[in-house]
Structure formats: C-alpha cells, structure tokens
Amino acid sequence: MARMTMIEAVRSAMDVSMERDDDVVVFGEDVGYFGGVFRCTQGLQAKYGKTRCFDAPISESGIVGTAIGMAAYGLKPCVEIQFADYMYPAYDQITQEAARIRYRSNGDFTCPIVLRMPTGGGIFGGQTHSQSPEALFTHVCGLKVVVPSNPYDAKGLLIASIEDPDPVIFLEPKRLYNGPFDGHHEKPVTPWSKHDLGEVPEGHFSIPIGKAEIRKPGSAVTVIAYGTMVHVALAAAEETGVDAEVIDLRSLLPLDLDTIVQSVNKTGRCVVVHEATLTSGFGAEVAALVQQHCFYHLEAPIVRVTGWDTPYPHAQEWDYFPGPARVGRALVDVMGA
C-alpha cells in the first residue's frame, strides 16, 4: 500500500494498465513530455515511449475521433480531455460515434475507449473550467459514466474502465485531486495522505463499474451523491448530526439502483446532491427512480441540492457550489417534513 493523491492514483492506474497491456495508449493535449496540466500522465512518456503516450493537436473532436479509429483497429486508447468543459467539440464523436459503433455494426466493430475529463468546480476556474456535464452523457445509450470520489476508487475504477469493452466517460473531480474537500472554502484541503482512502495498492486491482458504495451508514435519511459532493454530504451529516446514510454512486451509468432502493426503503427519506445545475440534471433521474421504486416507503418529498441554473461564476464560486450548509439545511428540512 502507498499513500496517493487522486492525481497519483489516476497516474498509477494508467501506468499499471500500460505495463500489463501493450495495446493501451495515452494521448491528449499536453499529456506527453509535460505530463498534463494536472500532471496525471507525468512520467508515462518517459517510461513507455512517445508512441504510447503523446501530445495531440488542440482538437477535441480529432482526439476522440482518432481514438475511435485506434479502438476499431484493436488498441485501447485512454484519452485525456484537458477539461470536461472542452469536450463539446467532440460531443458528436462521443455520443453518436463511440457510443453507437458496437450497436450499429452489430458487434463487428467495438469502441473500448476511456475519456478522462477533469470535472466540477472549486478551483476558481470560471464558466469554462468548472462544468459538470455528466447528465449530457448519462442520457446517451452506449456510454458508461464513472465519477470517483477518492484515490482508491479512482485507481480501481480507472483500471476497470480501461479494461471495459465499451466507451467510458471518466469524470475526475478536480477539487478532489489533492485531498478530500469538506465544503469549507476557507479551510485548507486536508491531504489524501491523512485519509484512509488515500491508501491505494501499488499494483493491479479493479472496482466493478456499476456498484455504489455506502460511505456512511445511517437510518434517518439517504443522501445520494457522487464525486466532490460525497465529501460535502458527509460534512453536512456530521455538522447537523442527522443520522444520514451517504451513498457514493461511483458509477452513474449503469446505476446501482438496488443499493439506492434498499437504502431509501430503510430510511424513508432521500436527498440527492450534485454540483451540476438543477434542471434536467442527473438528480432528476435519481429522484424519478426513487419515487417509482420507493413510493410507499417515502415519508417526505425527495429533495435535490444542486448548483444553480446559471453558468458557473468565477468570483462567486463559493455561493454557487453546494456546500455543507445548503446540504445540511436540506437534511434538517427533510427530517422535519
């Protein structure tokens, strides 16, 4: 076991995968010699050579399009999109090509690619470096969507994603790259080295895609979150003292409905938290499923705590970000309902 940040865990996952399988290639903007703007690919070019880890032209559609072609050939490209916000020029290649190739060719061609994208806010990135576009992917059949909340999961899930035979969108919450975030922007980030989930095996291991994890058992209310919001939810539960059960979805598509239903049927209350905007966000899907499957067990309306329906602001970032105070209010409200 070693103590790793999420950046190191992501890097380790690619390292282990490249070492085990010559068909794994890593490319994207600035990922080669420099090691990526967040240093996730640092050292990979030196170790595996520049034909297995290389810089790409600034053309997201080109990056994803060529990755699709490489996958059709038989490689397993693990691509970095520098920020999730930059994926829009590649949206057609992702949603109508990568996602569909297996289906439309009846398995004649497949598309085992991983698209890593730093996602979410909390680093003063403004409108175009803070987005959480997961709902734009979970609406697309043929994709898998994974969001880790800690280094251990990041490595295990990324290895599973690289080994997955289908295209995986791997959203890395950049607020969590260096340590868990407790939701209070005035406090420094605690490094992962002081956290249990910063302990990550150095070799190969994987975590199955499609399985949620209960981060904190509880009996009064189920809080459903993923990525950065898992830590915000845990902080809110601690600060309010509400006996919340916090579920970390880890994978949004496919979704672990069983874990959700089991928990809400037990607690009778449900709060869904995400950083993305409210309207048509992934929380709407979760709320609809909970309503459909847990209706007779619900003792209060399902509540969503999310980013506002506005673009992500720069100076007012901490008023946008759903912090423990907002989640805590929702917990107290839902208990009183």
Partner 1 sequence: MTEFQRLSLHVPEPAVRPGGTPDFSNVSIAKAGAVARPPVDSAPEDIRDLAYSIIRVLNREGEAVGPWAGFLSDDELLTGLRHMMKLRTFDARMLMAQRQGKTSFYMQHLGEEAVSCAFRKALRNGDMNFPTYRQAGLLIADDYPMEEMMNQIFSNESDPLRGRQLPVMYSSREHGFFTISGNLSTQYVQAVGWAMASAIKNDTKIAAAWIGDGSTAESDFHSALVFASTYKAPVILNIVNNQWAISTFQGIARGGSGTFAARGLGFGIPALRVDGNDYLAVHAVSLWAAERARRNLGPTLIEYVTYRVGAHSTSDDPSAYRPKTESEAWPLGDPVLRLKKHLIAKGAWSESRHVQAEAEILDEVLDAQKRAEAHGTLHAGGKPSVRDIFDGVYADMPAHIRRQRQEAGY
- Nearest approach, Cβ of residue 260 and partner 1 (Å): 12
Instruction: Of 76, 73, 82, 75, give the one whose Cα is nearest residue 55.
Output: 82
Residue 32 binds to partner 1 (criterion: CB under 8 A): no
Name the strand (E) or helix (H) holding 282.
helix 282-294
Contact with partner 1 (CB under 8 A) among 106, 187, 188, 203: 106
Using CB under 8 A as the binding rule, the residues of this chain from 39 to 58 that contact partner 1 are 51-52, 56-57
Which residue bears the tokens 């309503």? 291
- Nearest approach, Cβ of residue 312 and partner 1 (Å): 26
- Look up residue 159 and give its two tokens: 């290895």
Q: How many residues bind partner 1 (CB under 8 A)?
A: 44
**Binding track over 140-159 against partner 1, x by CB under 8 A:** -xx-x---------------
Measuring CA to CA, how many Å separate 225 from each of 94, 156, 163, 185, 285?
A: 25, 19, 25, 19, 13
Nearer to partner 1, 107 or 188 (CB): 107
**Binding track over 65-94 against partner 1, x by CB under 8 A:** xxxxxxxxxxx-------------x--xx-
**Binding track over 316-335 against partner 1, x by CB under 8 A:** --------------------
CB count within 10 Å of CB 319 equals 10
Residue 124 binds to partner 1 (criterion: CB under 8 A): no
DSSP string covering 56-107: --S-HHHHHHHHHHHHHHT-EEEEE-SSGGGGGGGHHIIIIIITTHHHHTTT
Q: Which of 129, 231, 297, 314 is catalytic?
A: 129
- Look up residue 130 and give its two tokens: 């803070």
Nearer to partner 1, 102 or 175 (CB): 102
Q: d(Cα 150, Cα 172) in Å, to the nearest integer? A: 10
**Binding track over 194-233 against partner 1, x by CB under 8 A:** ----------------x-----------------------
Q: d(Cα 58, Cα 14) in Å, to the nearest integer? A: 22
- Nearest approach, Cβ of residue 205 and partner 1 (Å): 20
- Nearest approach, Cβ of residue 77 and partner 1 (Å): 8
* 129 in catalytic set: yes
Nearer to partner 1, 56 or 246 (CB): 56
Taking contact as CB under 8 A, which single stretch among the options 11-19, 95-103, 119-127, 221-229 is the one that binds partner 1? 95-103
Q: d(Cα 248, Cα 326) in Å, to the nearest integer? A: 18
Q: At what angle do helices 257-267 and 282-294 cross, to 10 degrees?
A: 60
Q: d(Cα 29, Cα 36) in Å, to the nearest integer? A: 7
Q: d(Cα 44, Cα 33) in Å, to the nearest integer? A: 9
Residue 310 binds to partner 1 (criterion: CB under 8 A): no
User: What is the contact surface with partner 1 in residues (CB under 8 A)?
Assistant: 25, 51-52, 56-57, 59, 61-62, 65-75, 89, 92-93, 96-97, 100-110, 141-142, 144, 165-166, 210, 254-255, 257
Q: Which residues are catalytic?
A: 129
